[in-house]
Amino acid sequence: MTLAAKEELRVEYKKPRPLSTNSAVAHAVKDLDVDVVAAYPITPQTTVVEKISEFIANGELEAEMIHVESEHSALSATIAASLTGARAFTATASQGLELMHEILHIASGLRAPIVMSVAMRALSAPISIWNDHSDVMNARDTGWVIMFVSSAQEAYDTVIQAYRIAEDRDVLLPVMVAYDGYVMSHTMEPVVTEDRDSVLAYAPKRPFPYKLDPDKPVTIGVIADPDWYYEIKYQIVDAMRRVPQKLEEADREFGKRFGRSYGVVECYLCEDAKSLIVAASSYAATLKAVLPRAWERGLKVGLLRLRLYRPFPEEYILRHIEDKDSILVIDRAISYGAPYQGPLANEFAGLLLKHDIKANLVSVVAGIGQRRMVDEDFMKLAEIAWEARISKKPETIFYGVRA
Amino acid sequence: MSEGVRLLKYNEILPGGIIDEPGSSLKYKTGSWRALRPVIDQEKCVRCRLCWIYCPDAAILEVDEEYVTKKGRRYKISYKVNYDYCKGCGVCAQECPVNAIEMVPEPIGGEEQ
């Protein structure tokens, strides 16, 4: 091969580099040319904003990093920056997300197109720095678009897609990109990053259309009496309805430009499956390794990976579940005292009822506070899903608890 | 609550309830909140201006309107209430040194002001 040909090859082949999901998110923020980042450190998110600080210090990213005294302020500053027309980002986890809670509603209520990454972690008390989905599940009715990602590469790609969706004039909603703390946030995977020009060509900055501008004054954050409040909240309902299709389009376009796409939901070994396991983030990735072995044993169990969680992509899920005999939903959070004690299972119960689907539903709570779940455990869940075709399991299974 | 303003549909309101027109609060007639309305007795009123000073909503108007009392006292000004913005708090009636302001219940269901 000539030297020139070798040079050409090098251009074609994008070399992956080892990045943790936290680093991948920081790289996405850099490549998106984000203008303002406001954050407060919290395990296991901290290395995201540390990396961003490094990029700013090195001159690789020209952005304002606002060091605030709490997550409550972090999100407040991020919203304010966004409403001045800046592209704004923040990241958090666990208690930090809880402290942001009232501001989460304000972000969506003000229609601030911000993006936040969440390295999911369990909630106190007792104190746990380990991973489950309690933090994000507590934020599910805040009017945020919520996405779960399953790899560092997908985290990088999804943060980029998230800005395209958030800043879309037909959406204008904040987007949360969530992934498993430690299991993903602190483990290295090969990640391909793109150059800034290509990223910005895909996701050009579209500032908030009614931004604060002294030449064109607007009032943001009005009080709305009972004659007005309902309609302004209904705007979020309306905007949410457009999100699944916007994501599908954004993902397809991403695939065309960069060669990677993920869909709105992902179905793995679905076609001929009789049973499905519903999972998000790293569990979905582990199930992809385990399920082929289940099939070798005659358990025809597929995986439905939830990528978009809010809005709940009903239509996209329905395509995959209508002909199934049983659906096992793994929840990594507890909805204490609810009919099914896993929040996701309740949503699937509603979905099955609404569309008159007869599949048997199994609610499984697992991995709370990062209780160990290894291949054999997922194989066990595949067995439970398979058995549920013929025997109903009305109560939530608290898998792995000493009870 | 928003009498006189057309109530817009959700898709006619800017996202998040943003208002792009300065001074639009003038259109919001807060007088509709009122349960008790102040009525000024021009006979008793001594034109001391205390009601005008105390009114938290600047809803007392000092107008160039001559008034002659039955006893023949001539005033060059009169005090009136701007019922579009008077919320009926009653501070004026409380402060009036001659008890010239009476708080009268608004008729239920509203009435031509």
pLDDT tens, A373-402? Answer: 999 999 999 999 999 999 989 999 999 999
Q: How far is B10 from chain A (nearest CA, A)?
A: 5
CATH number reported for the structural domain that contains residue B95 in this entry: 3.30.70.20
> Does the predicted model carry a pTM greater than 0.95?
no
Q: What was the pLDDT predicted at A7?
A: 58
Q: How far is B31 from chain A (nearest CA, A)?
A: 14
Cβ-based burial of B63 (10 A; exposed 0-12, middle 13-18, buried ≥19): exposed
> Which of B10, B12, B25, B32 is the mutation pick for testing A, counting most A CBs within 10 A?
B10
Distance of CA A20 to the CA centre of its chain: 16
Q: Which of A136, A150, A38, A130 is nearest to A87 (CA)?
A: A38
Pairing, β A326-331 against β A175-180: unpaired
Which pLDDT tens digit goes with each residue over B14-60?
Answer: 999 999 998 888 888 899 899 999 999 999 999 999 999 999 999 99
Q: Are A86 and A35 in contact (CB under 8 A)?
A: yes
Q: Which domain holds residue B96?
A: 30-105
A214/B contact by beta carbon, under 8 A: no
The reply to whether B99 falls in a domain is: yes
Round to whole Å and give the CA distance between A84 and A68: 18
The reply to whether B70 falls in a domain is: yes
Outline where DSSP puts E strands in A166-215: 175-180, 188-191
pLDDT class for A11, splitting at 50, 70, 90? very low
Q: Which of A144, A125, A172, A170 is nearest to A75 (CA)?
A: A144
The CA angle A102-A104-A105, to the nearest 5 degrees, is 70
A225/B contact by beta carbon, under 8 A: yes
Q: How far is B7 from chain A (nearest CA, A)?
A: 7
A14 vs B40 pLDDT, higher one = B40
**Between residues 21 and 60 of chain B, which touch chain A (CB distance below 8 Å)?**
22, 24
- Long-range contact set of residues A13-18: C-beta below 8 Å, sequence gap at least 24: A14/A192, A14/A194, A15/A192, A16/A190, A16/A191, A16/A192, A17/A190, A17/A191, A17/A192, A17/A193, A18/A188, A18/A189, A18/A190, A18/A191
The reply to whether B86 falls in a domain is: yes
Alpha helices in chain B (DSSP H): 50-54, 91-95
A216/B contact by beta carbon, under 8 A: yes
Alpha helices in B10-110 (DSSP H): 50-54, 91-95
For chain A, domains (ranges, CATH) are 12-258 (3.40.50.970), 268-398 (3.40.50.920)
Find the range with the poorest average confidence among A11-15, A55-59, A72-76, B51-55: A11-15
Q: Are A108 and A236 in contact (CB under 8 A)?
A: yes
| Chain A partners within 8 Å of B19 (Cβ) | 218-219, 222
**Amino acid (1-letter code) at residue B81:** V
H-helix or E-strand spanning residue B6: none
Report the complex ipTM. 0.89
SS3 assignment, position B4: coil
Round to whole Å and give the CA distance between A169 and B81: 46
Instruction: Note whether B10 contacts A228, CB cutoff 8 Å.
Output: no
The CA angle A63-A66-A68, to the nearest 5 degrees, is 165
Distances (CA, A) of A255 to A82, A228, A346: 28, 41, 33
Round to whole Å and give the CA distance between A358 and A274: 13
The reply to whether B8 falls in a domain is: no
Q: Which of A296, A364, A375, A274 is nearest to A328 (CA)?
A: A364
Instruction: Note whether B2 contacts A228, CB cutoff 8 Å.
Output: yes
Instruction: Note whether B17 contacts A227, CB cutoff 8 Å.
Output: no
* Counted domains in chain B: 1
What mean pLDDT is predicted for residues A11-33? 91
Name which of A217, A225, A232 is nearest B1 (Cβ-Cβ): A225
Alpha helices in A178-298 (DSSP H): 196-202, 229-258, 282-296
Instruction: Note whether A231 contacts B8, CB cutoff 8 Å.
Output: yes
Question: What would the DSSP string read from start to end of A5-28?
Answer: HHHHHHHHSPPPEEEEHHHHHHHH
Q: Which residue of A has its CA nearest to B6?
A: A227
SS3 content of chain B, % helix, strand, coil (to 5): 20, 20, 60
| Chain A partners within 8 Å of B6 (Cβ) | none
**What is the SS3 string spanning B59-75?**
CEEEECCCEECCCCCEE
Q: How far is A210 from chain B (nearest CA, A)?
A: 8
Q: Which residue of A has its CA nearest to B1?
A: A227
B16/A contact by beta carbon, under 8 A: yes
Which pLDDT tens digit goes with each residue over A317-353?
Answer: 999 999 999 999 999 999 999 999 999 999 999 999 9
Instruction: Note whether B11 contacts A235, CB cutoff 8 Å.
Output: yes
SS3 assignment, position A203: coil
A220/B contact by beta carbon, under 8 A: yes
Using only the alpha carbons of chain A, give its radius of gyration.
Answer: 21
Cβ-based burial of A325 (10 A; exposed 0-12, middle 13-18, buried ≥19): middle
Phi, psi for B38 (deg, rounded to 5): -75, 135
Which pLDDT tens digit goes with each residue over A197-228?
Answer: 999 999 999 999 999 999 999 999 999 999 99
The reply to whether B24 falls in a domain is: no
| Chain B partners within 8 Å of A225 (Cβ) | 1-2
The CA angle A278-A281-A287, to the nearest 5 degrees, is 55
**Between residues 96 and 155 of chain A, which touch chain B (CB distance below 8 Å)?**
109-111
Name which of B10, B20, B22 is nearest A235 (Cβ-Cβ): B10
What mean pLDDT is predicted for residues A230-257? 98
> Which of B8, B12, B18, B26 is the mutation pick for testing A, counting most A CBs within 10 A?
B18
| Chain B partners within 8 Å of A241 (Cβ) | none
Q: What was the pLDDT predicted at A392?
A: 87
Which pLDDT tens digit goes with each residue over B60-75?
Answer: 999 999 999 999 999 9
The reply to whether B111 falls in a domain is: no
The reply to whether B84 falls in a domain is: yes
| Chain B partners within 8 Å of A109 (Cβ) | 16
Q: Are A91 and A25 in contact (CB under 8 A)?
A: yes
Q: What was the pLDDT predicted at B24?
A: 85
Instruction: Note whether B15 contacts A217, CB cutoff 8 Å.
Output: no
pLDDT greater than 90 at residue A265: yes
Q: How far is A201 from chain B (nearest CA, A)?
A: 26
